[in-house]
Amino acid sequence: MKKTGFVRKNGKRLAALVCALLLVLAGCASLTGCSSAEKLYLFNYGDYIDPQVYDLFEAETGIRVVYDEYAAPEDMYAKFTSGSVTYDLICTSDYMLEKLIGEDRLAPINKDAIATLSNISRRQWDATAAFDPELQYTVPHFWGTLGILYNTKTVTAEEVTSWDVLFDGSHAGNIVMPNSERDAFFVALTKLGYDANTTDPTQLQAASDLLKKQKADVQAYLLDEAARVKVEAENADLAVIYNGEAYLAMENNEDLAFAVPEDGTCIWLDSFAIPVDAPNPAYAEKFLEFLCREEIAAMNFEYIYYSTPNQAVIDGLDEEIAANAAIFPADSIHDKASVLRYLGAEAEALYSQLWKNVKS
Amino acid sequence: MNKKNLWLSGPYLVWIVGFILLPLVTIFYYGFTTAQGGFTFANIINAVTDSANLKAIGLTVLLAALATAICLLLGYPLALCLSRIGLKWQKAVIFLFILPMWMNFMLQMVAINVILEDNGIINTILTALGLEKVHIANTFGAILIGMVYDYFPFMLLPLYNTVSRLDGDLINASKDLGAGPLRTFFKITFPLSLPGLVSGATMVFIPAISDFAIAEMLGGGKIMLVGNIVEMSFTKGQYYQGSGLAILLMAFVIISSLITGEDGENEGGAMLP
């Protein structure tokens, strides 16, 4: 009774209070609302840094890493550009970085302040130049190559020296293609002898026709882990997949092997960059310095098993791992590989339309 | 309700504006504008003229209709049987059918995939028996199985609610007056269970027509439904085309609820036994 009386008397005030509370909550929901001095806001792919690294960093510097995760670069772009959240540091892929650089969304990194950058191999910087020509905006995190994971019981090493094996009908119904338009088109364009970054509509149409024809032989279009599990469980003989996943698959099933076809491959590079509107770029630089240290980069490498760009880590590895072609592709492959570039909005739309046609 | 206490609906009003009205306005804004900001019907027209979209629309309607029909064919006889056994058993069987809904959706789909896979459970059994393997994984059939599995309880519950409440006296009267079992069924039982049937069909058809997750997980990315194209457009930043298709999907849903609406309403609230 007492309570009802109270509510009745103070109804309006209570209502105002509730509204105010809701507003505060809404404000806090976006990270900027409650930013405090000692936090570094990081936006990264899921599971891409060993969680212990954050603890070590906080113990050393007192800076807490608050991280958001995303699955696809396009999701990252949508959230990043919506402006609802500002980050100090982002990690994403080559073509997306090129797009962000082109849109003036990234700030140059003060590389002199980061002594440990000298651990990054020369070769990685050369590859980085494909999308960051002056090497001012990005710091490499991991890289990898596209290749074919195959079951040695049903596929010979001879067959996978060329992408043709995916198109000649010899393994109909047992092929897993990547469920990503750029990667799928890369395979078709390379098989046709075209440039991986072409925007020529005739060439793209030809690649699209080839993929459409191939579809009858494809068991499924899957990415990363889903593709790996398919081959691991021997429900498919071949999968076009990135090397880190292939390495895991080979650990789990000893009949599997990984090959990068000799007619060319593409390499991807995931790198860090600092947004122009980063509230605390200095924290981001501190974190980059930390990440590039040999022991920290080694922790991350052992967590992910993608190819690390950190030469100090590579030099310190067991010979067996360093010689594993799935993790560290041979130099000859690296030299022939293309980096997928950002092709502009018009070409992107064409890609999407053609990919939709392939899949429908 | 006391007028003075109207403010209690405040939290929900915030909800309705933020999570229902704003998204709708946004979808309609993108659906009827060009990238340059001008008004256009092009996104809607593209949604129904693009060949990939047309194919997806056909597949989607076909799949949703088939899933509804199969759920109905499985659910109606079951509901009739249920209404004739003891109440305790009825509750137990209904409980068994609802049970899988408490499991994580992803887990259900992964499990179905393991069952259907080329080296999956069904094919292992077939091989052990010396029979030919069947290829269902990543096909139209796999998606259909997934939909039926996932949406079946939504068909069964309204049907069961209606059928179990049928007036037994009417059926007895029909028999007393000399009608055979078939005639009784078509003249009494079936017409009286129509509301539950329509309600069940709506509750399967509507989610099935806008589904994309089942198709993505069981179709191996080889079959594109309208929902998948909408998802693809939005993740690729093509909000205008995506919104055009989303509006088309909404139109489908509204039309199918209009067709079934009046009868469906009665049973919607009486979903749980």
Which DSSP category does B132 fall into? P
List, in sequence order, every residue forming a beta bridge with A139; answer none if it has no partner.
A272
SS3 B119: coil
- Residue A18 has what pLDDT? 53
Q: Which residues contact B177 (CB under 8 A, 6 or more apart)?
A: none
Kindly determine whether residue B55 and residue A359, on different chains, have CB atoms separated by under 8 Å. Answer: no
Average pLDDT across chain A, whole number: 86
Hey, what are A231's tokens? 């081959």
Distance CA A224, CA A243 (A): 10
Kindly determine whether residue A352 and residue B236, on different chains, have CB atoms separated by under 8 Å. Answer: yes
- Residue A30 has what pLDDT? 44
- Residue B264 has what pLDDT? 44
B179 or A355: which leads in pLDDT: A355
Average pLDDT across chain B, whole number: 88
Hey, what are A25's tokens? 């909550």
Give the β-pairing of A266-275 and A338-339.
Answer: parallel
Q: Each residue of B138-177: pLDDT tens digit?
A: 999 999 999 999 999 999 999 999 998 888 888 888 888 8
pLDDT band for position B28 (cuts 50, 70, 90): very high
Nearest-neighbour CA in chain B from A226: distance (Å): 10
List average pLDDT for each run of 10 residues in chain A, which is 360 residues long: 43 52 50 60 92 95 93 85 89 93 94 92 89 94 92 93 93 92 93 93 96 94 90 93 89 92 88 95 95 94 88 86 76 81 88 91
- Residue A337 has what pLDDT? 85
- Residue A320 has what pLDDT? 78
Q: Indicate whether B223 pLDDT > 60.
A: yes
Nearest-neighbour CA in chain B from A22: distance (Å): 8
- Residue A20 has what pLDDT? 53
Kindly determine whether residue A11 and residue B7, on different chains, have CB atoms separated by under 8 Å. Answer: yes
Q: Which residues of B touch A353 (CB under 8 A)?
A: 52
**Which helix (H) or strand (E) is B3 found in, with range?**
none
- Residue A2 has what pLDDT? 38
Q: Which residues of B touch A357 (CB under 8 A)?
A: 51-52
Kindly determine whether residue A233 and residue B11, on different chains, have CB atoms separated by under 8 Å. Answer: no
Sign of CA dihedral A274, A45, A72, A33: negative
Hey, what are A105's tokens? 């969304």
List, in sequence order, every residue forming a beta bridge with A142; answer none if it has no partner.
A270
- Residue B66 has what pLDDT? 97
Q: Which residues of A touch B56 (CB under 8 A)?
A: 360
Kindly determine whether residue A221 and residue B221, on different chains, have CB atoms separated by under 8 Å. Answer: yes
- Domains of chain A (ranges plus CATH)? 34-143+268-327 (3.40.190.10), 144-266+339-359 (3.40.190.10)
Hey, what are A261's tokens? 């076809």
Q: Count of CB contacts below 8 A, A vs B?
A: 73
Kindly determine whether residue B220 and residue A235, on different chains, have CB atoms separated by under 8 Å. Answer: no
- Residue A131 has what pLDDT? 92
Distance CA B81, CA A228 (A): 46
Q: Tell me the three-class secondary structure of chain A, residue by residue.
A: CHHHHHHHHCHHHHHHHHHHHHHHHHHHHCHHHHCCCCEEEEEEECCCCCHHHHHHHHHHHCCEEEEEEECCHHHHHHHHHHCCCCCCEEEEEHHHHHHHHHCCCEECCCHHHCHHHHHECHHHHHHHCCCCCCCCCEEEEEEEEEEEEEECCCCCCCHHHCHHHHCCCCCCCCEEEECCHHHHHHHHHHHCCCCCCCCCHHHHHHHHHHHHHHHHHEEEEECHHHHHHHHHCCCCCEEEEEHHHHHHHHHHCCCEEEECCCCCCEEEEEEEEEECCCCCHHHHHHHHHHHCCHHHHHHHHHHHCCECCEHHHHHCCCHHHHCCCCCCCCHHHHHHCEECCCCCHHHHHHHHHHHHHHHC
- Domains of chain B (ranges plus CATH)? 41-268 (1.10.3720.10)
Kindly determine whether residue B237 and residue A173, on different chains, have CB atoms separated by under 8 Å. Answer: no
Distance CA B266, CA A285 (A): 63
Give the β-pairing of A64-70 and A89-93.
Answer: unpaired
- Residue A69 has what pLDDT? 92
Q: Indicate whether B119 pLDDT > 90.
A: no
Distance CA A88, CA A70 (A): 16
Measured distance between the N- and C-terminal CA atoms of chain A, rounded to whole angstroms? 64
| Chain B: residues touching A (Cβ < 8 Å) | 4-5, 7, 10-11, 14, 51-53, 55-56, 117-120, 135, 137-138, 220-222, 224, 229, 232-233, 235-238
Distance CA B106, CA A274 (A): 36
Give the β-pairing of A218-222 and A175-178.
Answer: parallel
Kindly determine whether residue B232 and residue A356, on different chains, have CB atoms separated by under 8 Å. Answer: yes
Q: Is B104 exposed, middle or buried (0-12, 13-18, 19+ CB in 10 A)?
A: exposed
